[in-house]
Homo-oligomer: A and B are copies of this chain.
Amino acid sequence: MNESIGFVGLGNMGEPMASNLLKAGHALRVYNRTPARAASLMAQGAKLVPRLSEVADPGGIVITMLSDDQALEGAVADDNGLLQRLGPGGIHLSMSTVSPATARNLAERHRRYGVTYLAAPVFGRPQAAVARKLWICVSGPRAAKDRVQPILSALGQAVFDFGEDPGAANVVKLSGNFLIASAIEAMAEAMTFAEKNGIDRARLIDMLAQTMFACPIYQNYGKAIVQEDYKPARFRLSLGLKDIDLVLQTAAASKTPMPLASMLHDRFISAMAKGREELDWAAFALGAWEDAGLHRHPHHTEKGK
């Protein structure tokens, strides 16, 4: 029989994930700061609860999909009562991208309530969430991982287990986002270089993305950069900066110099300074063109709606 699940955080990613859980036959209690976001899920059978703690059943499973460390820490703060209600035998399946240090601290706090913290951040954009095509990295205690297996299967196309350390899955998630941003920077410089030397940017990426770089990141982001398709954002630039800064903080704490991550940080800060926080995070690529004296499209400085 399918487990009854609590779900917190119905943003671009959380909403289609919750919908897939309903489709897979799970009963769902949902909570969102802006309750209106739950309308479609309620039509599919989800129960909207008015207070955060009420998503939890004692010993049950609660999933959170929130925007950053503070939001996650807020959700499990004592005054919300979530961990108290979840209690012994409960599992908090934490799917947000947060710092490994936050994950480890939270795992420790959860243990005091008998709750197991499982880290399970995902790779994939909103359309991948809709299509159950997410890639999920998971880490934490084995028994809990076994119990959530059917849930993860309902959400993604593959699950990768990185052991017992509750911080591990987020290290991998941050590594992946760093690799994506690095690829965007590399493509942006290469396209600028090509254009300045008489090559059409679309032709360049078309060739590379069907040969040596025939993989989703170069194909999807390559196309977005070629078309300057940054609005609406699949993943907001301000959140991209947050992730790169999580990389840099985690790197600093572990004494790891990452000059390429530092360069990306500066690109993001420049994009923020130019008013692009609401565009898709790939829009930091515009910096390569501007530094080369090529002018961006005027709409790129407007803020999104």
Contacts and interface: CB of A to CB of B under 8 A. Distances in A.
A236 to B, nearest CB: 15
A280 interface: no
B193 A137 contact: no
B260 A262 contact: no
A273 B293 contact: yes
Interface string A158-193: 101010010110011011101110110111011011
Counting every copy of the chain, the complex holds 4
A259 interface: yes
Interface stretch (A2-10, A12-20, A206-214): A206-214
A171 B190 CA distance: 10
B186 A260 contact: yes
Nearest to A101: B197
A31 to B, nearest CB: 30
A64 B144 CA distance: 50
A214 B183 CA distance: 13
A265 interface: yes
Nearest to A100: B197
Interface string A270-296: 101111000000000001101111100
A182 to B, nearest CB: 4
Contact of A182 (B186, B199, B287): B186
Contacts of A235: none
B213 A254 contact: no
A77 interface: no
A216 B212 contact: yes
A67 interface: no
Interface residues of A, number: 75
A194 B211 contact: no
B193 A260 contact: no
A269 interface: yes
B257 A269 contact: yes
B196 A162 contact: no
B196 A256 contact: yes
A245 interface: yes
A215 interface: yes
B214 A216 contact: yes
A278 to B, nearest CB: 14
A137 B292 CA distance: 26
B172 A207 contact: yes
B178 A189 contact: yes
